[in-house]
Amino acid sequence: MLAFAVLALYRNYQKQEPSRDGFQPEKRTERPNPRDKKEIRALKTFTGKVVGIKDGDTFEVLFEGQTERVRLAEIDCPESAQPFGKVAKKFASDLCFGKTVTVEAGGKRDRYGRVVGTVFTDDGINVNQELVKAGLAWHYKDYSDSDELAAIEEQARAENVGLWADNNPVAPWDWRKNKRKRR
């Protein structure tokens, strides 16, 4: 009971106005919450090491001591639960996991805070294009008007490469929409 009384007096003391001599009880500063989002950096072009592959079109890149989640621009790989989703992830991992890459993003981020950009390996391979060429990604025409990516996708379709060998491949954006409807 005595502890409660002391606590109540202490709280009341903290709420008091400063006295005439200017004494003000010291305010406690709150520690930063580790769950708060990290600082959003406007990254145009940067070079870092790929330290994680989330799926075929989303990587973790270590840059200046911080990881940045990078979403490949202009393409969309199958989701992990879709046919070829795991194959796309493995292909992307084989291309760049543990390697130094350059990300050209122009400062763009998506609604999830991911850097959206084109990824190039040290030996000049455009990872975005390679995924489309291997038939492991769609050219995401809603977000791209690249004639080059459109031509690469058409070539992969014509050769029945990767997911284009499937009789009825479902675009990831349609798959996600159907998944939301089923909930």
In tens, the pLDDT along 16-58 reads 544 444 544 444 445 444 445 567 888 999 999 999 999 999 9
Mark whether 71 is an active-site residue. yes
pLDDT tens figures, 58-74:
999 999 999 999 999 99
Which among 79, 109, 130, 153 is annotated as catalytic? 79
Mark whether 31 is an active-site residue. no
10 membership: H or E segment, kind and range: helix 2-15
> Which residues, in sequence order, are bridge partners of residue 67?
62
Mark whether 159 is an active-site residue. no
In whole angstroms, what is the distance from residue 59 CA to residue 177 CA? Answer: 23
Domain 45-158 has what CATH class? mainly beta
Using alpha carbons, select from 151, 180, 74, 175 the residue that is nearest to residue 118.
74
Which among 68, 71, 74, 130 is annotated as catalytic? 71
Which among 68, 74, 114, 130 is annotated as catalytic? 114
pLDDT tens figures, 84-143:
999 999 999 999 999 999 999 999 999 999 999 999 999 999 999 999 999 999 999 999
pLDDT tens figures, 136-165:
999 999 999 999 999 999 999 999 999 999
